[in-house]
Amino acid sequence: MNARPPMTPPTRTQVGIVGAGPAGLLLSHLLYLEGIESVVLEARTREYCETRVRAGVLEHGTARLLDAAGVGARMRREGLVHHGIVFRFGGRDHRIDLSGLTGGRTITVYAQHEIVKDLIAARRDAGGAIVFEAENVSLHHLDGSAPTIRYRAGGEARELACDFVAGCDGFHGISRSSIPPDALTVYDHHYPFAWLGILARVPPASEELIYARHDHGFALLSMRTREISRLYLQCDPGAELDRWPDHLVWDELRCRLERPDGWALRDGPILQKGITDMRSFVVDPMRHGRLFLAGDAAHIVPPTGAKGLNLAAADVRVLVQALAAFYKERRTDLLDGYSDTCLRRVWKVQRFSWWMTSMLHRGGGGAFADQIQLAELDYVTGSRAASAALAENYVGLPFD
Ligand code: APR
Ligand code: PHB
């Protein structure tokens, strides 16, 4: 790893980026490849960003975007390429041939924090400015042509002057809340369940991801490597972790993933355990003056479709094209169209994630709703047309 000494943060740049998650870092690196300067301001430490367990499934287009950014080598070496996923219900498996139904497109299983590690290393190697542990970040003059970002670092108050600000600071960041509430339309939908997720040191019990619909609730078998499994089960919203001791988690996973032919889920040491709320959230517009929101700062999807990271990458792709057109040709049409362009995809991805969530989780809708769910799963996995529609959304809708 290249340990260049931290530079004194610049006081002027072209694009000021708040947040060193996948959105902020990918944006900074793609801008660099376009010859556009940026500075990333991140509240947490480098170590925190590089170790935070989050998502791990990359769409076909996202994997190619990382390749294009020159940060795909380790993903290609260590990531797991999958050509299908499995739906398990009624004790039987139904495989969706993703590649066969989408002209060869695939998904890649590669952890989000590994992508963050690769991007930080690439920024460092390129001499990119990332200020970790930046405190009290605040945005100013967003309505003019010279926005500034104020923050504290190294115990000193600092100010960064820039042409544009990219709010890539996630759902709990300050960027979205820097926009006057009456300038935003907020769409917010909560689901009556949550996910309990574990990371376990046990080889995945399946080559491909298994989405299980069971009378006890949803379960998902995923993985990180050939030695590390990632599993989730539906639990009550607000469930407490200490009510889910490891043995109970494994018992419930075994029960929901059971198959009458003796297929077995082996357990192992649980390395990490957490509960995630399920929510669909969108703000419109994703731009306010010189501030452009990207990723979780603008939208949250329930994790059932594995879309959060991919949607962040899709936003960044549109923003880089718009900023490049501005700096190279002084065009403002793509900047002006940024929000609408992103939101078209955001809503399609919201629909898919909501649909997958509704089809696979027990929501207390009663016996009729249960039968509809089973019929939907039976139709989707039995009809080539319906499987193709699912596969197209799962591997990632083509970029406009
Ligand atoms: N100042 C500076 N940095 C901040 C602030 C702040 N006030 N608030 C948050 N941040 C940082 C966080 O510490 C985090 O590193 O912004 C970063 C936001 O990163 P993410 O939450 O990962 O958001 P994003 O880059 O949009 O990636 C979206 O992350 O959460 C997953 O499922 C989600 O996969 C999706 C992806
Ligand atoms: C994961 O591996 O973390 C994962 C996979 C598929 C999903 C959600 C999460 O739908």
pLDDT (0 to 100) of residue 7: 58
Q: pLDDT at residue 208 above 60?
A: yes
pLDDT, tens digit, 9 for 90 and up, residues 134-192: 999 999 999 999 999 999 999 999 999 999 999 999 999 999 999 999 999 999 999 99
pLDDT (0 to 100) of residue 278: 97
Phi–psi pair at 200, nearest 5 degrees: -135, 140
Query: Which ligand 2 atom sits nearest the alpha carbon of residue 356?
Result: 10
Number of the ligand closest to the Cα of 112: 1
pLDDT (0 to 100) of residue 364: 76
Q: pLDDT at residue 6 above 60?
A: no
Average pLDDT along the chain: 96
pLDDT, average across residues 55-59 = 95
Query: Which ligand 2 atom sits nearest the alpha carbon of residue 222?
Result: 2
> What is the residue whose two structure tokens read 């376009």?
34
Helix, strand or coil, per DSSP, at residue 277: strand
Number of the ligand closest to the Cα of 308: 1
pLDDT, tens digit, 9 for 90 and up, residues 79-129: 999 999 999 999 899 999 999 999 999 999 999 999 999 999 999 999 999
Number of the ligand closest to the Cα of 274: 2
Q: What's the 197 CA to ligand 2 centre distance in angstroms?
A: 10
pLDDT, tens digit, 9 for 90 and up, residues 254-277: 999 999 898 889 999 999 999 999
Q: What's the 119 CA to ligand 2 centre distance in angstroms?
A: 21
Concatenating the DSSP letter of every residue in 98-166 gives HHHHTTS--EEE--HHHHHHHHHHHHHHTT-EEETT-EEEEEE-TTSSS-EEEEEETTEEEEEE-SEEE
Cβ neighbours around 286 below 10 Å, total = 28
Q: pLDDT at residue 19 above 90?
A: yes
Q: What's the 110 CA to ligand 2 centre distance in angstroms?
A: 10
- CA-nearest residue for atom 21, ligand 1, is 170
pTM: 0.96
CB of 59 within 6 A of ligand 1: the answer is no
Quick check: 315 and 26 in contact, CB under 8 A? no
Q: For residue 357, which of 197, 220, 206 has the smallest C-alpha distance?
A: 220
pLDDT, average across residues 9-38 = 97
Instruction: Give the H/E segment covering residue 273.
Output: strand 270-284
Instruction: Give the H/E segment covering residue 315.
Output: helix 308-329
pLDDT bin (cut points 50, 70, 90) of residue 337 is very high
Q: pLDDT at residue 232 above 80?
A: yes
- Of 107, 222, 394, the one to substitute when testing ligand 2's pocket (max ligand atoms within 8 A of C-beta) is 222
Which residues on adjacent β-strands are paired with residue 233? 196, 219
pLDDT, tens digit, 9 for 90 and up, residues 355-371: 999 999 998 789 999 99
> What is the residue whose two structure tokens read 């959105």?
23
pLDDT (0 to 100) of residue 244: 97
Is the link from the previous residue into 22 a cis peptide, with omega within 30 of 0? no
pLDDT (0 to 100) of residue 49: 97
CB of 134 within 6 A of ligand 1: the answer is yes
CB of 25 within 6 A of ligand 1: the answer is no
Distance CA 40, CA 59 (A): 25
Quick check: 173 and 297 in contact, CB under 8 A? yes
Q: What's the 360 CA to ligand 2 centre distance in angstroms?
A: 14
**What residues act catalytically?**
82, 211, 303, 307, 394
pLDDT (0 to 100) of residue 1: 43
- CA-nearest residue for atom 10, ligand 1, is 169
Residues with CB under 6 A from ligand 2: 55-57, 209, 220, 222, 230, 303-306
CB of 55 within 6 A of ligand 1: the answer is yes
SS (H, E, C) 329-398: HCCCHHHHHHHHHHHHHHHHHHHHHHHHHHHHCCCCCHHHHHHHHHHHHHHHHHCHHHHHHHHHHHHCCC
Distance CA 48, CA 132 (A): 10
Query: Which ligand 1 atom sits nearest the alpha carbon of residue 41?
Result: 2
User: For residue 313, what are its two tokens?
Assistant: 């990458």
Q: For residue 21, which of 246, 308, 338 has the smallest C-alpha distance?
A: 308
Q: pLDDT at residue 206 above 90?
A: yes
pLDDT bin (cut points 50, 70, 90) of residue 53 is confident
Q: pLDDT at residue 3 above 80?
A: no
Q: pLDDT at residue 39 above 90?
A: yes
CB of 279 within 6 A of ligand 1: the answer is no
pLDDT (0 to 100) of residue 55: 87
Instruction: Express as a percent the part of the chain with pLDDT over 70.
Output: 98
Distance CA 129, CA 10 (A): 8
Report the alpha-carbon angle 159-175-295, nearest 5. 125
Distance CA 389, CA 225 (A): 28
Phi–psi pair at 138, nearest 5 degrees: -140, 150
Q: What percentage of the chain's residues is helix, strand, coil (to nearest 5)?
A: 40, 25, 35
pLDDT (0 to 100) of residue 9: 85
CB of 320 within 6 A of ligand 1: the answer is no
The CA-to-CA distance between both ends of the chain, in Å, stands at 37
Q: pLDDT at residue 2 above 50?
A: no
CB of 316 within 6 A of ligand 1: the answer is no
pLDDT (0 to 100) of residue 242: 95
Quick check: 82 and 40 in contact, CB under 8 A? no
